[in-house]
């Protein structure tokens, strides 16, 4: 079976808060998670996919600061994340997202614990830890 790849962003603002999204209907058991998704025919690179998915699912246009090392596995795919920061104010997000909010790092870890699957919780927790380490080394 071929591994499905997804690309996404872990977005931090200037206040050090992280952007979380709540998927519509808590899809896949995720109550709060990070924006990510599969490649679209018009995407020229994984970075394009990640930037597009963050814009669609959170309403924020972002810039990539650095690739977050590693790949993060869930039930449905393997995700590669990029460390991002917003470059403008929020616009509308798509119907795949029911809510978006900026939270402290501590709040983010608490929100991740709400995910109903162990593999999903572990993926997002490990991705956030790796993102924080990447951010620290910028």
pLDDT value of position 27? 87
**CA–CA distance, 3 with 104 (Å, rounded to integer):** 33
**CA–CA distance, 45 with 11 (Å, rounded to integer):** 19
What's the pLDDT tens digit per position in 84-116? Answer: 999 999 999 999 999 999 999 999 999 999 999
pLDDT value of position 3? 59
B/e letters for 14-52, b = 16+ CB within 10 Å, e = fewer, are eeebbbbbbbeeeeebbbbbbbbbebeeebeebeebbbb
Domains of the chain by start residue, with CATH: 5-136 (3.90.79.10)
pLDDT value of position 129? 98
SS3 category, 11: strand
Average pLDDT over residues 54-66: 98
| pLDDT band, very low/low/confident/very high, at 76 (cuts 50, 70, 90) | confident
Contact 9, 64 (CB under 8 A): yes
Is the whole-model pTM more than 0.85? Answer: yes
| pLDDT band, very low/low/confident/very high, at 68 (cuts 50, 70, 90) | very high
**CA–CA distance, 134 with 138 (Å, rounded to integer):** 7
pLDDT value of position 1? 45
């Amino acid at each position: 079976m071929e591994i499905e790849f997804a690309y996404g962003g872990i977005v931090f603002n200037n206040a050090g808060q992280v952007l979380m999204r709540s998927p519509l209907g808590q899809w896949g058991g995720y109550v709060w998670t990070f924006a990510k998704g599969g490649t679209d025919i018009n995407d020229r690179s994984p970075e394009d996919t990640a930037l597009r998915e963050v814009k669609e699912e959170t309403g924020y246009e972002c810039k990539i600061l650095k690739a977050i090392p590693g790949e993060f596995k869930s039930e449905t795919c393997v995700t590669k994340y990029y460390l991002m920061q917003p470059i403008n104010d929020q616009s509308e997000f798509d119907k795949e997202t029911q809510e978006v909010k900026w939270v402290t790092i501590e709040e983010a870890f608490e929100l991740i614990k709400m995910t109903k699957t162990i593999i999903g919780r572990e993926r997002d927790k490990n991705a956030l830890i790796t993102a924080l380490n990447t951010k620290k080394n910028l």
